[in-house]
Amino acid sequence: MEKVILGGKEILVRKLVAKDIARAKDHLAYFDALLDEDLYISTNKRMVLKEEKSYLKDMLALQKKGKCVYLVSEYDGKVISHVEARLKEDKSRHIAVLGFAIAAGFRHIGLGGRLWEILLSLCQTDLSPKPRIIEAGIFVGNIASLGLAKKFGFRQVARLPNQFIQKGQLIDEIIVQLYL
Ligand SMILES: CC(C)(COP(=O)(O)OP(=O)(O)OC[C@H]1O[C@@H](n2cnc3c(N)ncnc32)[C@H](O)[C@@H]1OP(=O)(O)O)[C@@H](O)C(=O)NCCC(=O)NCCS
């Protein structure tokens, strides 16, 4: 879909496609490496290959229905990032929620910013109904994510106390929103 050159690396950014299900092992390796780092991300569930395939199938089905945009980045044939915007349902269907991560070695070279640019643009064209609000929930200490959100004009709308437990500590969640 798009090649970006950042930090001297040529990175391919594309939407999730059916062939990703056959490549679920690559996606699993990427997620496992993120979990190994114990980052400020909300999940700590390690999936087995069957679960990863089923997750990717679900994402693909949602994307086909216009309920999700899921971008995969690859470097040298390896999955190095995913960013997604997923519409909520029913009376909250005007809100799209972001999920995003980049593998170690590819952060702080501008990739997050470039991916958000592409994702936010696709939210306007690919999601149905078109969202009125884009939202993200971010750990209070996640400086890079909060910086990224600020850069794109998101506003903090709430701080939910003690939403996560990480390394035995309770951590607040910051909810940021962008009105389209
Ligand atoms: C959060 C993450 C996606 C950001 O992506 P990135 O590629 O590292 O960010 P970029 O290099 O594109 O930086 C984009 C902007 O974010 C902000 N930013 C990034 N790193 C920052 C830092 N350490 N401190 C403050 N602001 C920072 C800056 O505003 C920056 O823009 P600028 O370089 O023009 O000033 C990435 O660091 C990551 O995957 N982290 C681990 C997983 C994670 O935290 N996921 C999010 C869960 S909510």
**Distance between Cα 130 and ligand 1 center (Å):** 26
**How high is the mean pLDDT of the chain?**
96
Give the whole-angstrom CA distance, residue 34 versus residue 41.
9
Q: In the predicted model, is pLDDT for residue 18 greater than 90?
A: yes
Tokens at 115, concatenated: 């991916």
174 Cα: distance to centroid of ligand 1 (angstroms)? 16
Q: What CATH topology corresponds to 2-179?
A: Aminopeptidase (3.40.630)
Q: What is the pLDDT of residue 38?
A: 83
Distance 145 CA to ligand 1 centre (A): 5
According to DSSP, the residues that pair with 175 across neighbouring strands are: 137, 158
Q: To which H or E segment does residue 138 belong?
A: strand 133-139
Question: What percent of the chain shows pLDDT beyond 70?
Answer: 100
pLDDT reported for residue 34: 96
The predicted structure's pLDDT at residue 1:
81
Q: Which residue has the tokens 């909520």?
A: 88
Ligand 1 lined by 176 (C-beta under 6 Å):
no
Residue 167, pLDDT score = 87
